[in-house]
Structure 1
């Protein structure tokens, strides 16, 4: 069942990739996470996207812009090698999270009128080596980020067929190099080879089907589809990588409503770090857990008196309704709260803890 789902999803993703100027790899990342460890996903994606690139080169070869390829590829290849090596040293999930944030910046553009081809500020060909290096580095680290650079291809004034053909030519050597490097670094186990072969078969069939679809599309629709792919990829990367980062750091957000108070609590490392609270008068305040060493001298000096035979369990700095501190004290199994000004004087009476 999972195998059939991966094949069908890959086929549809690569058709969308052809008409949207990329993005199949980023769309497939969430699905491949169901069957592969995170470190093996870039290798499997590279096998599939290499097959897709080779088929698109054959189908669209008259439209390749070799002036772009000559400037892009020489910088992309060594950068991809660096990205593949970095994958063995660091968690790629943090880069995926940042890329997701970057792609989501395209959301407002979906609701604006699409500029006519050639009306955007042109991208000088002299910048292509820098673009190639960036694409190679990110591609080596995450497996596929072609959709990130859609706007650059638009600004070069390429037609939809030229974008498909030139992108494929720019990326095919990149993917082949990455496959070799992933294998050398032990990032291409048998499961990744099988998944990559499955994605590759779907990608080749999708290239054949998309040739007809692409010929029927208007340029404006092609560009809007590209923006939609960027936003969709951004949502997927942001949500999945964000949830994985929160799991790594034992972080979560919870809402509590004890009594008349309402607050959103933020946890990191399994410990409450901050909260946003609505006070009785309706004001919002931000609470941050602090250590005694971070307190003003006057507040720190008052702590022994506040404890009074009990134990201080937590201290929070509160901002938004002035600056003050909340000291939580446990005595005889009961926890109470005292609000203290930075001068060390009680701000109001002790209240039952929520």
Structure 2
């Protein structure tokens, strides 16, 4: 698994260098096989911090320090809030939302470029184009990036569109992102240690990710100039979609496992019903033969195991009826299930 982690991290950081970010989101599913969910952000931060330092040293002259000054001060309190939230709860449902957000890059990936538009040639003097958005939004972006990064360990490609809309070219995006992230990751590492989220296994995984990140940056620097701006953005959108799909699969499996999610489908000659269980709740829909739809929610009311002569649970059910004959109405009741 350590070798697999290194190979995936090397490919992810190589792709990240030519897409402006996203390595952490791609590595997360592999780290999920090695670490507990609450330890993944700490390992990612260790590896990404070292990778960011390498990118700063490699592309130092392309850093836009004005963006850094607007971004970093707001990202640090956001990171503290995210790490504090991580110490209280698992980030699995946020991962689901982030996965859906990243899949929103699919239309951008499939969108065709309008005829007659061309990307301006990049030169040493053309690392920054006229900004399309105001700098005053950067503190808000920094706060959100810090919170999500502290809670999940990676922000990756979530805010890449804002860097593009600021008019930054590829080297400037890579360097400025690294400068924004380095202090953020170092702050998070200190917070993870303070909350007891660092151990020997996390340090080992973080070291493997860091080594892969350094190797990827040193390899890619020699051919990054061959990638034009349009391809750079397309690779970024593709990486975002791949990371989003991976996050959805990983988080979905974790939700199914920890929250006991299950589904059933029953069909007879008169009734068709489907139900989904989540934790102790059951949500179901049934199509009755008398042109009526029933939406039902059931959950345990109390355990009768300690009551003499009774076994099992009493369940409280609420049913919303939508009928062509009787209109819309609600019924409630209790049902008893024998415990075997």
Instruction: Identify the TM-score tier after normalising by the shorter chain.
Output: 0.7 to 0.9
The aligned residue for residue 343 of structure 1 is: none
- Take 1:73 and 1:149, find their aligned partners in 2: how far apart are those partners? 14
Q: Following superposition of structure 1 onto structure 2, how do residues 202-281 of structure 1 map, counting pairs within 5 Å?
A: 202-259=212-269, 261-275=271-285, 277=286
Residue number in structure 2 paired with 1:318 = 321
Report matched runs for 1:19-168 at 5 Å: 19-114=18-113, 122-168=132-178
| C-alpha contact 1:103 1:230 (8 A) present in aligned 2 | yes
Structure 1 residue aligned with 2:194 = 184
Tell me if structure 2 keeps the 8 A contact 1:159–1:219. Answer: yes
SS across alignment from 1:148:
coil
1:17-37 Cα distance to aligned partner (Å, 9 max, x none): 111211110111111010101
Partner SS state of residue 195, structure 1: helix
Which structure is larger by alpha-carbon Rg, 1 or 2? 1
**Corresponding residue of 2:296:** 288
Query: How many Å apart are 1:264 and its aligned residue?
Result: 2.7
RMSD in angstroms over aligned alpha carbons? 3.1
Are the structure 2 counterparts of residues 284 and 144 from structure 1 closer, same or farther at C-alpha, using a change threshold of 3 Å?
Answer: farther
- CA distance in 2 between counterparts of 1:32 and 1:196 reads 10
Between the two structures, name the one with larger relative contact order (CA 8 Å, sep ≥ 6). Answer: 2
Q: Deviations over 1:54-112 (max 9, x none)?
A: 11111111111111111111111222122112211222112212212222222222221
Q: How many residues align?
A: 310
State the Cα distance separating 1:288 from its structure 2 match.
1.4
TM-score by length of 2: 0.81
Other-structure match for 2:305: none
Quote the offset at 1:271 in angstroms.
4.5
Unaligned 5+ segments in structure 2 are: 121-128, 302-313, 336-340
Contact 1:68–1:125 under 8 Å retained in 2: yes
d(CA) in 2 for partners of 1:9 and 1:324?
55
Structure 1 residues 328, 166: closer, same or farther in 2, change over 3 A? closer
TM-score (ref. length: structure 1): 0.78
1:184-242 C-alpha deviation (Å, 9 max, x unpaired): 11101110000000111011001111213422112111111111122222222223223
